[in-house]
Chain A
Amino acid sequence: MMIDWTAFTPWSALAGGVLIGLAAALLVLLNGRIAGISGIVGGLLAPKRGDVGWRLAFVAGLVLAPALWMAVAALPPIRIEAGYPLLIVAGLVVGFSTRYGTGCTSGHGVCGISRLSPRSIVATLAFMAAGFVTVFVARHLMGG
């Protein structure tokens, strides 16, 4: 293992993490809900009466965050290497699997580990491991 110190951004990562933690804290303390993106979005596909507004509002907030940012400063870089076919496959797999496994990086990774949930700890270990292996195969075995 070789650490790329030039790419390492510990302070912004930590600060961004604290903001994400604050967001998750506010949603549970104010709305009594878990800030899991896949769960919040997935719930819109099987809508229940009185349970749609807050989900749409949350997603609108996420999507509008870059606009708020741009009102103050230039956006940080967003570089998407994957081509369209790969993005479609990845999107389908992420969409299906996060619903099948009841969560993603936010619901299991942030909220679940914060709650010390054994299910979320196992799910997080599983998706981290699969992510590491997938990138290893794509970049080093297939020469991506």
Chain B
Amino acid sequence: MVKLSFSAWIVGLLFGLGLLVSGMANPEKVLGFLDLAGAWDPSLALVMVGAIAVGFFAFRRAAGQERSFLNEPMQLPTRRDLDRRLLLGGLGFGVGWGLAGFCPGPALVALGAGELKALVFVLAMLAGMGIFELLERRKPS
């Protein structure tokens, strides 16, 4: 348990440093990437390229293992079907992302940098997630 938390903490730090280095933690840069019709800044496409170049090999390796190196079960998603929720959720997220230039990870990093606006965004995001949980629990399944 302690080992798992320690590795997750190190991973969180590394992830946060990556967001800072890449420019993803800066909403101005994110919006510059999303503004195709303006003065377009293509940088963030390269963040995806760099991350996927490493991730591709790691996930291929992980898919062949029953358990992780810390002896945890591999919890990889298995669904391959496309449904309405996936599409609507994706579209909705894109709208929210485009409104302020924040997605969840960068907002938490900006919060750590002491940005009051990021704190407000994160609290609203937690509220949005909480509303989702409440609606899911009310639904008979």
Interface residues of A (CB under 8 A from B): 1-4, 7-10, 12-35, 37-38, 41-42, 45-46, 50, 53-69, 75-82, 84, 86-106, 108-115, 117-119, 122-136, 138-140
Assess whether B129 is in contact with A99, with CB atoms less than 8 Å apart. Answer: yes
B10 to chain A, nearest CB (A): 7
Other A-B contacts than A78-B25, A80-B115, A99-B129, 16 sampled, CB-CB below 8 A, are A7-B29, A7-B39, A9-B43, A20-B15, A20-B51, A23-B18, A28-B59, A32-B68, A32-B75, A56-B5, A84-B117, A95-B128, A100-B88, A101-B93, A123-B90, A130-B93
Assess whether B51 is in contact with A77, with CB atoms less than 8 Å apart. Answer: no
| C-alpha spacing A98/B67, complex, angstroms | 27
Using Cβ atoms and an 8 Å threshold, which residues of chain B touch A17?
Answer: 18, 22, 46-53
Assess whether A90 is in contact with B93, with CB atoms less than 8 Å apart. Answer: no
Assess whether A18 is in contact with B94, with CB atoms less than 8 Å apart. Answer: no
Assess whether B27 is in contact with A7, with CB atoms less than 8 Å apart. Answer: no
Interface residues of B (CB under 8 A from A): 1, 4-29, 31-32, 34-59, 61-63, 67-70, 72-77, 79-82, 85-105, 107-115, 117-118, 120-133
| C-alpha spacing A94/B30, complex, angstroms | 15
| C-alpha spacing A45/B112, complex, angstroms | 20
Assess whether A35 is in contact with B11, with CB atoms less than 8 Å apart. Answer: yes
Using Cβ atoms and an 8 Å threshold, which residues of chain A touch B80?
Answer: 117-119
A19-B14 contact in complex given A34-B77, A91-B123, A132-B34, C-beta closer than 8 Å = yes
A43 to chain B, nearest CB (A): 10
B108 to chain A, nearest CB (A): 5
A121 to chain B, nearest CB (A): 10
Ranked 7 nearest A-B pairs via Cβ = A101-B89, A61-B12, A16-B22, A17-B50, A95-B128, A65-B16, A130-B94
| C-alpha spacing A107/B68, complex, angstroms | 18
Assess whether A18 is in contact with B50, with CB atoms less than 8 Å apart. Answer: yes
Assess whether B70 is in contact with A31, with CB atoms less than 8 Å apart. Answer: yes
Assess whether A22 is in contact with B54, with CB atoms less than 8 Å apart. Answer: yes
